[in-house]
Structure 1
Amino acid sequence: MSEKFLKVNIQKELKEFELDIDFKLNKGCLGILGPSGCGKSMTLKSIAGIVNPDTGIISLKMDEENIYFDSEKKINLKPQKRNVGYLFQNYALFPNMTVEENIGIGVSKEKREKTVSEMIKRFHLEGLEKRYPRQLSGGQQQRVALARILAYGPDVILLDEPFSAMDTFLKEQLRIELVNSLKDFDGFSVLVTHDRDEAFQFCDELIILDKGKIIAKGETHEIFENPKKLDVARLTGCKNTSRIEIIDDYHLKSLDWGLTLEVSEKISPNITHIGIRAHDFAPAKKDEVNSFDTENSSLLEMPFEWEITLANGLWWKREKQIREHEFVVPDHIKVDPKNTILLEE
């Protein structure tokens, strides 16, 4: 079987920075994770043809390579020619069209009735065919928008922070629905988000973007487990980071926490910080490796976890049951050397 890919290598001068994106996706879903205003949505719009890069190339190969944009060859396909589906944050349904009309809008007359019927069943929209968008819930609107995209058989689906404006309950429900909806999709999908949980749940591969530049890319699980860079650790949710002083190959002093810690990986000279994820502490005895006291810590109860802030600034998150309302902070806690993260600035 010939190689399939979505290749994007583009540059665009923006007001505050230059967008410089370079990746090649060979399968599944790519996540682009980063703070607001870092160039995530601009990347999607460039792939879709809504925005023109200054230089670079965007191409897709399914059966044969199709060049969407090439600044040197002066190729720039219109959005309608790119076979790309774009799921906007607000779903962009036509308010004066019914569910079935919205789904069938991009399908030829010969195939429309059959395709719409298939999509209605696939996305569990039976009974809603004659309703208008204003008569639908957020979840139903999302399913209609996805059905409309998939009805005309795109090669690429672009998802632009599809859950950003939703409350927590609806967000969790729609995440599951979207994962299931994309299971049978044979093309490529790119999800833009500032939510690390979404990136982890959806994406086979991940790009971390900051001020228009890629600061990390690779398999999603690998980036979360071994972020390597301080900014990447923070963007993937590492709450505890400290400057360090190297003692020897496997020991360091954390300058911000006042602790001497053992690590499992040899410390190279370019390591400047240590990270510990908030869930990676455990109760300990005084003399255990990487054990320290919890004197003068503060305790905050959340529905499903305790948040313990230690006097030295470390943050510990401990899971709890909803009916559990008492927790005695142990005198000492520890972090396993293998759960420490060595980081470069």
Structure 2
Amino acid sequence: MSLYVDIRKKLGGFTLETQFEAADGVTGILGASGCGKSMTLRCIAGIVKPDEGHIELDGKVLFDSREKINLRPQERHVGLLFQNYALFPNMTVRQNLMTGLKAEKTGKKEAEIRIQEMLEKFELKDLEKHKPAELSGGQQQRVALARIFLSSPRVLMLDEPFSALDGYLRWNLEQELLETLKEFGGPTLFVSHSRDEVYRICDRVCVMDKGSSSPVIPVKQLFEAPKSRAAALLSGCKNFARAEVKEAASADKPGRVYVQDWGETLTFTGEHGPDTEDVRYVGVRSHYIGLMGAKEAAAQPENTFRCRINRVIDDVFSTVIMVRPERADTSEESRKNHFNRIRVETTKEVWRDFCKKEYEGRENPQEDIWVHINPADVMVLR
């Protein structure tokens, strides 16, 4: 099966303009709060009507503004799990599940069989007489999922299903959900603002930024070779600076990019980045930046430059060193956007050993340091 979405919707000063296709498996929709992720799901489900566009599920048109087609939610066979699960508070678990069969023409005997199957499948048999207020967050989610599956959905949509749960419960429910998604088999849309969830759960991902969607790509490509600053930011990159490509990279030759905010020209590899004229930024992941002393830096000058240590932060499982390049741009724009500083993250052991070697054991020095960036780790971004 496949789901095709190409819609536009204007709400006040916000415009949703999204286009993507999702096949079997799990497609993530990744974006910051307010970027249009939930609105996209509601348009697909028929809860919100787009201003224009086309939605098609496995050859069946759900919405088409030109042909004036707009199927009712009950006719779409789309299962949407809301953030708050949307259970009826005055109904028991069994009664909530029965509502999932309303759109189906199911006899009493068959309905009872299916209810029992879902109670068993989602481990709810001892809770069927409980109301939502008497259930934990995880139990409420299982009831909501069971209700969705009773409606025989052709596509499953999950709107930040773990956002209301604590870390330990979130992890356990994630493992349960993965098993459920494997059994479902059809297209699943998984909305999240968490890159970690998307990486673990999804096969492909569509990044949304301020109402606009990017093409669907394999999840690993988002982390290994994002093409935009928005995508790199959502994938966890924390170092960005304005840049201009001076020489494009090819399959057998690195490129050169001038990084204005750092006052440095770096080499980079990867001919699969955005077109040269579209590049506006570079991005470098904190844990890919190496630290060097003066002697080592002199022996390896490519993509190595001197910085000043501003602050050393002892994090829970790592050490973060905030540095400012020696030739950093001092303009207000550079400072305000944090373009002229670099975050370096390393293990506590590596930092301790480095300080013993370079700073006589002082772990919070306010001195010069050289950083090195492998050309393969320089991301050129639009």
User: Superposition RMSD on alpha carbons, in Å?
Assistant: 2.6
**Which residues in structure 2 correspond to 1:135-284 (within 5 Å)?**
135-246=134-245, 248-249=247-248, 250-265=255-270, 268-284=276-292
Instruction: Give yes or no for contact 1:217–1:223 (8 Å, CA) kept in 2.
Output: no
- Name the TM-score, length of structure 1 as normaliser: 0.87
The amino acid that maps onto 1:338 is A
How far the C-alpha of 1:51 sits from its partner, in A, is 0.8
Shift, 1:327, TM fit: 6.8
Distance in 2 (alpha carbons) for counterparts of 1:239 and 1:148: 40
Q: Is the 8 A contact 1:40 1:209 kept in 2?
A: yes
Paired residues, number? 336
**1:199, 1:13 → 2: CA distance?**
27
Which deviates the most, 253-262 or 181-190?
253-262
**Is 2:309 the counterpart of 1:296?**
yes
Aligned to 2:74: 80
CA distance in 2, matches of 1:126, 1:300: 50
Which residue is 1:20 aligned to? 17
Partner of 1:48: 45
TM-score under structure 2 normalisation?
A: 0.79
| 1:58-97 Cα deviation digits (max 9, x unpaired) | 1211xxx322112222221111111111111111112222
Counterpart amino acid of 1:233? A
Higher helix content, 1 or 2: 2
Equivalent pair of 2:309/2:322 in contact (CA under 8 Å): no
**Is contact 1:278-1:317 (8 Å) kept?**
yes
- Structure 1 residues 113-155: Cα deviation after superposition (integer angstroms, max 9, x where no partner): 2222222232233433332222221111111111111122211
Report the equivalent of 1:91.
85
Shift of 1:275: 0.8
The 8 Å contact of residues 104 and 115 in structure 1, kept in 2 or not, is answered as no
Paired position in structure 1 for 2:364: none
1:338 corresponds in structure 2 to: 376
Matched, 1:32 2:29: yes
C-alpha displacement of 1:336: 1.6
Which structure: larger Rg?
Answer: 2
Report the Cα distance in structure 1 between the residues aligned to 2:309 and 2:5, rounded to whole angstroms: 52
- Quick one: percent identity of the two aligned structures? 41
Asked if 2 retains the 8 angstrom alpha-carbon contact of 1:242 and 1:274, the reply is yes
| SS of residue paired to 1:198 | helix
Q: Distance in 1 between matches of 2:92 and 2:30?
A: 34
Deviation at 1:315, TM superposition (A): 0.8
Letter in 1 for 2:204: E
* Structure 1 gaps, min length 5: none
Q: Which amino acid aligns with 1:19?
A: L
Unaligned runs of 5+ residues in structure 2 are: 249-254, 326-340, 359-368
SS at match of 1:265: coil
Structure 2: distance between partners of 1:190 and 1:258: 42
Q: CA deviation at 1:305?
A: 2.4
Q: How far has the Cα of 1:223 moved from its partner?
A: 2.5
Please tell me whether the aligned partners of residues 20 and 213 of structure 2 are also in contact (alpha carbons under 8 angstroms): no
C-alpha contact 1:32 1:209 (8 A) present in aligned 2: yes
Q: For 1:239-285, what per-residue CA distance to the aligned partner results, in whole angstroms no more than 9, with x for missing partners?
A: 11112254545333322223342212369344332110122123443
d(CA) in 2 for partners of 1:165, 1:257: 40
Report the counterpart of residue 334 of structure 2 in structure 1: none
**Secondary structure in 1 matching 2:127:** coil
Pair 134,212 (structure 1): closer, same or farther in 2 beyond 3 Å: same
AA paired with 1:342? Answer: V
- Equivalent residue for 2:100? 106
